[in-house]
Structure 1
Amino acid sequence: MGKSILDKRWFQELLIVVVAFLFSTLNSWDLFTNWQDAQKAIVIFLITYAHSQVNRFFLLPLLLQTHKYFAYLTYSMLLTFFFGGVLYLVYTNWFHTQAVSNLTEVQKYLIHVICCVLSLATMLTPFLLLHLYTEQKKKVAAQLAMNQMELKVLQSQLNPHFLFNTFNNIYGISLQHPSSVPDLLLQVSKLMRYQLESHAHQWVNLGDELSFIEGYIALEEERLGSRCAISYEYINETAGTSFFIAPLLLIAYIENAFKHGTDNVDGSFVNINIHVTNDMINMRIINSMPPGRKKNDDFTGVGLKNANHRLNLLYEEKYRLDINSNSDAYSVNLVLPLIKHKNAA
């Protein structure tokens, strides 16, 4: 996609020059009675413009940006006195000599030095602001590119992590119910297909993401059977509205609940509640705390660490994540903003 004309460097430079010329000659427009007067004004402007550009392209990068502040100030003063002298000579011989005829030559010279100082400040300011804007834009673009690359790396780690956990589940099922393995493999293939397809997108349809989650929960129900009480509830108060969410973000917390909350112990439980309202999604997960596991034990694995990191990259400070544990249960409460626009996917 091509740049906007406002982002083109040549247009920015031209715009600054035109605006600087208009402002520098604003109080003299009534004196431009012919083309010769206008030519003289242009010459005077070019002198002050040349002064600002020498300062901008030579003194600023060589001295100020290398933190040689005293040297920059000294050379800037010498340069200003030089261009003040040039302006004085041109102005005295060409333009408005009668307006300052009652002043001494030294006073006339100092007036033109002051004019050079004022014009330097006037012309350098927009260039410096433009430079700061460009540098900030580069930093933002670089940070965005880095974030995107980091997100790709994190997403690429999710596939093998999910695959590892899922096939561990199938292995456990195959030991007790080998006849159900073909159907489970078909179900897993659907989950993996969604993972591969969603991997190419930063945002996916919320309905597709929830279907993926429901498929995973069904797989866990098959594995755990009556040994774990599993409850899943989905409430949508904004039916008919299409929302988008970061893919494979919620599943990490659900996986964590099944992995650490069941431990093949009878009487375990996992409760999952997902509530969509006011362009927000609220997911609350409560799972049992297996006997012998302390409430301060680290429940974080690769998937959960990746999920937490992706939350910071994608949602910054727009989300809320509360994790609590005690001797009986471990809970996660995640609140995220949802995206409406179609281009999110």
Structure 2
Amino acid sequence: MNPHTLNSILSASTGILLVACLWLYRRYKKAKKVKKEVEKRFVELETKANNLQLQTLESRLNPHLFKNILNSIQSHAYQTYFAMDKLGNVLDYILYESQNQFVSPREEIDFALNLIEINKIKLSPLFSISVKKKIDELDELYEEKILAPLISIDLIENAFKHADLQSPDAFISVIIEFKDNIFSITVQNKISAKSAFLKEHSGIGASTLEQRLKILYNNCYKLDRYTEEDVYVAQLKINLLEHKNKMLTA
């Protein structure tokens, strides 16, 4: 093969190789571009899928959240209605029954329980408050007009006013009893460090109560107020049968 023919073959081979390389490069570039487009499309689809899933979850959560809010509103509405109902009973008692010299133990006990329910509104749901009744409704004096009205208000109001509402072991305890013709109310509460009860155990309400008891029941009652460490205790007992007998023989 002469040199001229060999050069022609080499030139042709080089040209074909260059064309093949150029074609492969273009195919590579196109394949790379297609890959990017596919990856971009995949990301878009994945994002849409995630958004759709999130929207589905939110569509489930939002009504659930709305229902929870509605339940909360209903709960507060019920509490408000309950409190207003109790307040109405208290106002009726103060405006009408308390104008009488005496009421029945049943009426005074109902008043005391309503007053406690109203005061409970300002307490946290986690606050410990115990209210116990020990009532003998068959007692002969249970429905008789023999008990001074509002006689229990001072003990109850002081407990809510001076109780320690912040301490984790804070509490209020109320025990109302009527048996053997004896009316009894015992109130205990943990005293707040800021409470005036740490310095002084009496006030206008306390002195007024004691004056009323002395005038109305003379020696037929017992009122104790004392502290045990950080717990304040107030207990009132009135022997109504003894009081009635003294009134009949006077």
TM-score (normalizing by structure 1): 0.43
**What's 1:248 paired with?**
150
Query: C-alpha displacement at 1:219, in angstroms?
Result: 1.6
The aligned amino acid for 2:155 is Y
**What's 1:308 paired with?**
210
Runs of 4+ in 1 over 6 A off after TM superposition: none
How many Å separate the matches in 1 of 2:121 and 2:225?
A: 27
User: For the Cα contact (< 8 Å) 2:139–2:181, is it kept in 1?
Assistant: no
**What's 2:177 paired with?**
275
**What's 2:132 paired with?**
233
The aligned amino acid for 2:121 is E
Q: Secondary structure at the match of 1:225?
A: coil
How many Å separate the matches in 1 of 2:194 and 2:82?
A: 35
**What's 1:200 paired with?**
99
Identify the structure with bigger relative contact order (alpha carbons < 8 Å, sequence gap 6+). Answer: 2
Residues paired across the two proteins, number: 166
How many Å separate the matches in 2 of 1:286 and 1:199?
A: 25
1:27-84: per-residue Cα shift (whole Å, max 9, x none)? xxxxxxxxxxxxxxxxxxxxxxxxxxxxxxxxxxxxxxxxxxxxxxxxxxxxxxxxxx
User: For the Cα contact (< 8 Å) 1:287–1:329, is it kept in 2?
Assistant: yes
The aligned amino acid for 1:286 is Q
The one of 317, 321, 342 aligned to 2:223 = 321
Larger radius of gyration: 2
The aligned amino acid for 1:315 is Y
**Structure that is richer in helix per residue:** 1
User: For the Cα contact (< 8 Å) 1:227–1:264, is it kept in 2?
Assistant: no
1:195-245: per-residue Cα shift (whole Å, max 9, x none)? 111222111011111111111111222321334211111112462523331
Structure 1 alignment gaps of length 5 or more: 1-176
Q: Secondary structure at the match of 1:217?
A: helix
Do the aligned partners of residues 199 and 267 (structure 1) sit closer, same or farther apart at CA in structure 2, a change above 3 Å counting?
same
Over aligned residues, Cα RMSD in angstroms? 2.7
Of the structure 1 ranges 181-190 and 307-316, higher mean CA displacement relative to structure 2 is found in 181-190
**What's 1:333 paired with?**
235
Query: C-alpha displacement at 1:247, in angstroms?
Result: 0.5
User: For the Cα contact (< 8 Å) 1:286–1:330, is it kept in 2?
Assistant: yes
Do the aligned partners of residues 295 and 257 (structure 1) sit closer, same or farther apart at CA in structure 2, a change above 3 Å counting?
closer
Q: Secondary structure at the match of 1:290?
A: coil
Structure 2 alignment gaps of length 5 or more: 1-75
Q: Percent of pairs identical after alignment?
A: 23
TM-score (normalizing by structure 2): 0.58
The aligned amino acid for 1:301 is G
User: For the Cα contact (< 8 Å) 1:224–1:264, is it kept in 2?
Assistant: no
Matches within 5 A, 1:19-30: none
Query: C-alpha displacement at 1:270, in angstroms?
Result: 0.9
The one of 213, 216, 219 aligned to 2:115 = 216
**What's 1:9 paired with?**
none
Do the aligned partners of residues 302 and 266 (structure 1) sit closer, same or farther apart at CA in structure 2, a change above 3 Å counting?
farther
Do the aligned partners of residues 227 and 305 (structure 1) sit closer, same or farther apart at CA in structure 2, a change above 3 Å counting?
farther
